[in-house]
Amino acid sequence: MTWDKAVDLLIVGSGAGAMTAALCAHDRGARTLLIEKTHLYGGSSAMSGGSLWIPNNHLMAAAAVSDSPEEALTYLKAITRGTVPEDKLRRYVDNAPRMLRYMTDYSCLRMQSMLTYTDYYPEVAGGKPGGRSVEPEHFDARLLGEEFARMREPAFQELVMGRVSMTATEAHHLLARHPGWGKLTARIMSRYWLDIGGRLKSKRDRCLSLGNALIGMLRRSLMDRGVPLWLNTAARELVVENGRLAGVVAEQDGRKLRIRAEKGLVLAAGGFESNDAMRKRYLPNPTEAEWTTANPGNTGEAISMGMELGAAVDLMDDAWWGPVTLVPGEERARMLVIEKGLPGSIFVNKRGERFLNEAAPYNDICKAIYANNTPESPCVPAYMVFDATFRKKYPCGPFFQASQQPDWALPKLLKERRYLKKAETLTGIAAELGIDAAGLVATVEKMNRYTREGKDPEFHRGESLFDRYYGDEKVRPNPCLAPIDTPPYYAIVVYPGDLGTKGGLKTDASARVLTSAGEPIPGLYAIGNCSASVMGHTYPGAGGTMGPAMTFGYVLAHEVTGG
Ligand SMILES: Cc1cc2nc3c(=O)[nH]c(=O)nc-3n(C[C@H](O)[C@H](O)[C@H](O)COP(=O)(O)OP(=O)(O)OC[C@H]3O[C@@H](n4cnc5c(N)ncnc54)[C@H](O)[C@@H]3O)c2cc1C
């Protein structure tokens, strides 16, 4: 084999984990190169909320929030239930805070603590009511120069009116109408409209937040170091020489390129969420590629290439799940994160019956959808039903609350496609949805009884601190429960979607890809969603996917550069 290019560490993909691995390996003396298949860098990481779940991080210490490696390990062991080797969990717990410290000290990464964003299971031993999730501060896109135009845009749902960007902390402040929310709204809106230079160029907000801020900070840091990132360059084939991974055959603008990876090759090419055939083969069915909210370029070929080489895979039937709605005119599915737990709404199946705690972590919603989906009581799709009070008070999917965006002001396309179902009675809404009317009426009557006591004895909605984070704190006694009794009634259709798949190449605690015999394949590493997640079948808290991707990027950079 002759090579067109040789580096020490070749990284396939350009998400947060890929960039962290490149940066850390570069700082430790390695020649690194990132290759990205699409014409934009950043992948789902750029589209994301940008949060990282980093237990025992230095920002918690600065805010006097206690945590320890022992508590974090206790929590992870409890929620992963013995499915993940302890040495891998421990490696994560030990290195996640080191990674964040290093990146804060030596790169442009600037994160802030989400002190009130709870772990997803705060009541489990070792769980915390806040602080382990961190999110990016704002980042000025002008610092990227021309590179800004080559960054993947945020998911549409991350933007207000498809334009304006804000941090998760700001969004929560506005949604909960905490004191000062009006001033904050004015500040965010005027910042956007007063960026005259930006507005003359495009509608894209240059004050980046969430995943775009994260990727912007990482990209700027790589630019400062002169680390190359090649776009339109897809890894197509892994090359092995003398039993060791030697490099890849890539395709760049239609021509073949052989790139040698002298110290290691990192697959950081995302999951298979956008590959319909792989979804149908590996995930629970029914499933569709259009139900993912993630990057269209994540089509699983890195996983397939690894498998062809004899790598073992794990967790292929699982994803970072979340209920989604398909909004006409929007390119990607939109996840229902906030609205599903707000009081005055329910999820029902075709029989008109509830089957889950709607305020539970979004990952658990889809697990419940599939677990309850039987021919007798189909749950795919499910239906989110609410009344006029809910519609008036809360944003939902693509709509603002009716007090700000009444039904007549909804976009024409949504009206034409009858996206939002509406009827004067529950029987009418059941007919609109084609579901059992008597079942729906009985379910709503029961739910309304629960709301009077503030207790949901069936599914315990609003009992966990996590449920209440997205509840309406002004609604008492249970911020996630309110009657559904004011016509007209509304509904939207809900599918089991995802933020990406989480099954992939099996790796050890150093991110080395393993064979089915448990042996590392020399020179081959995998991180992010093309590796089987360190979180097993669970989701510890906001940032539970990119926290590990970046941490294991940091870990492997040390491994390839000599510990
Ligand atoms: C709307 C939304 C919100 C989210 N919020 C959060 C959050 O707040 N916190 C969190 O932790 N997670 C969040 N997630 C999930 C998270 O974004 C993903 O799990 C994570 O970014 C996956 O990282 P990755 O490196 O595996 O893949 P990506 O970031 O998608 O990067 C993979 C890259 O590899 C490229 N690629 C694919 N195949 C090839 C190939 N053959 N050759 C070269 N390049 C290739 C892809 O085009 C892509 O750019 C969110 C996701 C979405 C969609």
For the stretch 221-233, pLDDT in tens is: 999 999 999 999 9
Strand partners, 324: 335, 495
pLDDT-based confidence at residue 356 (cuts at 50, 70, 90): very high
Torsion sign, CA atoms 472, 44, 382, 354? negative
Q: Is 273 in the pocket of ligand 1 (CB under 6 A)?
A: no
Q: Which of 59-68, 166-175, 343-352 comes out lowest in average pLDDT?
A: 166-175
Q: Is 549 in the pocket of ligand 1 (CB under 6 A)?
A: yes
Q: How far apart are CA 211 and CA 209, in angstroms?
A: 6
Q: Which residue has the tokens 């794990």?
A: 314
Q: How far apart are CA 43 and CA 150, in angstroms?
A: 11
Q: Is the pLDDT of residue 251 over 90?
A: yes
Provide the pLDDT for residue 560. Answer: 97
Q: How far apart are CA 80 and CA 62, in angstroms?
A: 29
Do 166 and 94 contact (CB within 8 A), yes or no? no
- 90-118: average pLDDT: 98
Mean pLDDT of the chain, nearest integer? 97
Q: Which of 14, 236, 499, 502 to mutate to test the pocket of ligand 1 (most atoms within 8 A of CB)?
A: 499
Q: How far apart are CA 498 and CA 349, in angstroms?
A: 19
The string of pLDDT tens digits covering residues 114-136 is 999 999 999 999 999 999 999 99
48 CA distance to ligand 1 middle (Å): 8
Residue 71's H or E segment, with its range, is: helix 69-80
Do 97 and 132 contact (CB within 8 A), yes or no? no
C-beta neighbour count of 191 within 10 angstroms: 16
The helix-helix angle for 546-560 and 86-106 (nearest 10°) equals 90
Q: How far apart are CA 186 and CA 192, in angstroms?
A: 10
Q: Is 37 in the pocket of ligand 1 (CB under 6 A)?
A: yes
16 CA distance to ligand 1 middle (Å): 8
C-beta neighbour count of 408 within 10 angstroms: 7
Q: How far apart are CA 322 and CA 397, in angstroms?
A: 13
Q: Which residue has the tokens 């590629």?
A: 289
Q: Which of 39, 132, 152, 546 to mutate to test the pocket of ligand 1 (most atoms within 8 A of CB)?
A: 546
| Angle at the Cα of 102 from the Cα atoms of 101 and 103, rounded to 5 degrees | 95
Which residue has a Cα nearest atom 23 of ligand 1? 528
> Which of these, 66, 133, 136, 127, lies nearest to 104 by C-alpha position?
136
Q: How far apart are CA 515 and CA 471, in angstroms?
A: 45
Q: Which residue has the tokens 């073992």?
A: 312
The helix-helix angle for 69-80 and 86-106 (nearest 10°) equals 130
Provide the pLDDT for residue 478. Answer: 97
**Which long-range contacts link 443-450 to residues 24+ away (Cβ below 8 Å)?**
443/346, 443/348, 443/352, 443/353, 443/354, 444/346, 444/385, 444/484, 444/485, 447/346, 447/354, 447/481, 447/483, 447/484, 448/483, 448/484, 448/485, 450/481
Distances in Å between the Cα of 563 and the Cα atoms of 25, 26, 337, 556 are 11, 14, 40, 9
Reduce the DSSP state of residue 91 to 3 states and report it: helix
518 CA distance to ligand 1 middle (Å): 27
Strand partners, 140: 207
300 CA distance to ligand 1 middle (Å): 12
294 CA distance to ligand 1 middle (Å): 7
pTM of the complete model beyond 0.95: yes
Instruction: Determine the distance from the C-alpha atom of residue 364 to the mean position of all C-alpha atoms in its chain, rounded to a whole number.
Output: 14
Q: SS3 breakdown of the chain: % helix, strand, coil, rounded to 5? A: 35, 20, 40
Q: Which of 196-200, 216-220, 291-295 comes out lowest in average pLDDT?
A: 196-200
Q: How far apart are CA 409 and CA 192, in angstroms?
A: 23
Q: How far apart are CA 302 and CA 12, in angstroms?
A: 8
Q: Is 548 in the pocket of ligand 1 (CB under 6 A)?
A: no
240 CA distance to ligand 1 middle (Å): 27
pLDDT-based confidence at residue 302 (cuts at 50, 70, 90): very high
Q: How far apart are CA 473 and CA 475, in angstroms?
A: 5
374 CA distance to ligand 1 middle (Å): 32
**Which long-range contacts link 179-183 to residues 24+ away (Cβ below 8 Å)?**
none
